[in-house]
Amino acid sequence: MQTLNVNLGERSYPIYIGAGLLGKQDLLGKHVKGSQVLIVTNETVAPLYLVKTQKMLTDFQVETLILPDGEEYKNLATLNKIYSKLLEIKFNRNCTLAALGGGVIGDITGFGAASYQRGVNFMQIPTTLLAQVDSSVGGKTGVNHELGKNMIGAFHQPQCVLIDTNTLATLDERQFAAGLAEIIKYGLINDADFFSYLATNMDLLLAKDRAVIASAVQTSCHNKAQVVALDEKESGIRALLNLGHTFAHAIESGMGYGKWLHGEAVASGMLMAADLSVKMGWLKENEFTQIKDLITRANLPVRGPGMEVEKYLKIMALDKKSANGIIRLILLKAIGQATVVSEYSNNLLRETLKEFG
């Protein structure tokens, strides 16, 4: 087992990474403050890992809530199911929530924890690759609004993150590929060595080689933890983690939540960012090709769904990074060198959206 630490003063917490951690005693219990634990999971994950998780918490009153599976349920109505459950079982403000599942479960459970009785503790137990390398770390929680993705939420750090890489064995290929998008993202943002490592080892990664998976998950979590420690509430550098996401959120919201997986939308969004970066004269053509090749090898889309340019622009204007009507984008100066940009050519952006959107 590898333990990383997210350094945030009194809100610091460990990330446990290892194969076979689910079911191990003494890992979760020490992070439970009170006597009550509600495990929130979904109907896909529950049959696979709920019992193992319950077994880690035998010292406590453990209740469970099983939600439907899918991004289309990441909304206020589903959130209210968490509140209702907590109140029905009379959980108090010393209770702890445990999010067992992918990014949707983690985000919605985290926001439930942030807002139930004005804030209770929670733990992240991510079971998808995407949640393990990205959404479970850093305290971003929330739900979608029909007018925009992740528009309602809170920064609320968990007490711990427990990553059992064995759960990836049950993950379908489409979900696994979606997670690879966020892994590739860390290489593009500020870690050219990691990008090279991924290019060299993509076949082993796809074959779910244990050593390569462990390394990829650890490096991703390490990168994320570093950025979060520097800028917990995204007033600066943390925005870089949004590479490809402004485009991706437009796809997810515009096509209807759940049609495109978040990681798929991020993959094509990163290609759009890369293409615009080439058009701006920053990224070299051969770097663009390397990115496109790696994303293709990861079984991810290199183009969006063909959504209209105007629709992209309309939704992107609502992005949380926007200010004074200007869409801020994360673009690439090179592989491993992302930057936040508010000044770019609107015509070039339109061209990118037309070609890759």
Q: Which residues are catalytic?
A: 118, 140, 182, 224, 234, 238, 242, 245, 249, 262
Residue 115 contacts a second copy per CB under 8 A: yes
**Binding range to a second copy, per CB under 8 A, among 183-191, 216-224, 293-301, 320-328:** 320-328
52-81 footprint of a second copy as x/- string (CB under 8 A): ------------------------x---x-
- Per-residue b/e over 58-94, b at no fewer than 16 CB within 10 Å? eebebbbbbbebbbebbbeebbebbeebbeeeebeee
* Alpha helices by DSSP H, 256-331: 262-279, 285-297, 309-316
- Judged by beta carbon, residue 81 or residue 222, the one nearer a second copy is 81
Please select the residue that binds a second copy; options are 9, 147, 173, 306, rule is CB under 8 A. Answer: 147
Min. distance of Cβ 256 from a second copy in angstroms?
17
Distance CA(183)–CA(195), nearest Å, equals 9
φ, ψ at 12 (rounded to 5°): -65, 155
CB 41 within 8 A of CB 101: yes
Min. distance of Cβ 193 from a second copy in angstroms?
32
**What is the sign, positive or negative, of the torsion defined by CA atoms of 108, 148, 311, 325?**
negative
Min. distance of Cβ 82 from a second copy in angstroms?
10
Supply angle C-alpha 305, 308, 311, rounded to 5. 110
Residue 279 in tokens: 């058009």
Neighbours of 218 (CB within 10 A): 18
Min. distance of Cβ 150 from a second copy in angstroms?
8
Residue 208 contacts a second copy per CB under 8 A: no
**Binding range to a second copy, per CB under 8 A, among 23-31, 114-122, 213-221, 334-342:** 114-122
Min. distance of Cβ 356 from a second copy in angstroms?
25
Who's near 316: CB < 8 A, 6+ residues apart?
246, 247, 249, 250, 322, 327
Residue 251 in tokens: 């796809």
Residue 83 contacts a second copy per CB under 8 A: yes
Distance CA(249)–CA(324), nearest Å, equals 19
Write the single-letter amino acid at 27: L
Residue 311 contacts a second copy per CB under 8 A: no
Residue 131 DSSP label: I
Min. distance of Cβ 161 from a second copy in angstroms?
19
Please select the residue that binds a second copy; options are 14, 148, 258, 305, rule is CB under 8 A. Answer: 148
Residue 34 contacts a second copy per CB under 8 A: yes
Residue 230 contacts a second copy per CB under 8 A: no
Residue 171 in tokens: 């993950």
Residue 320 contacts a second copy per CB under 8 A: yes
Who's near 77: CB < 8 A, 6+ residues apart?
none
Please select the residue that binds a second copy; options are 25, 94, 200, 345, rule is CB under 8 A. Answer: 94
- Judged by beta carbon, residue 58 or residue 235, the one nearer a second copy is 235
Distance CA(322)–CA(316), nearest Å, equals 8
Residue 35 contacts a second copy per CB under 8 A: yes
Which residues contribute to the site for a second copy (CB under 8 A)? 34-35, 76, 80, 83-84, 87-88, 90, 92-94, 111, 114-119, 140, 142, 145, 147-148, 151-155, 233, 317-318, 320, 322-325
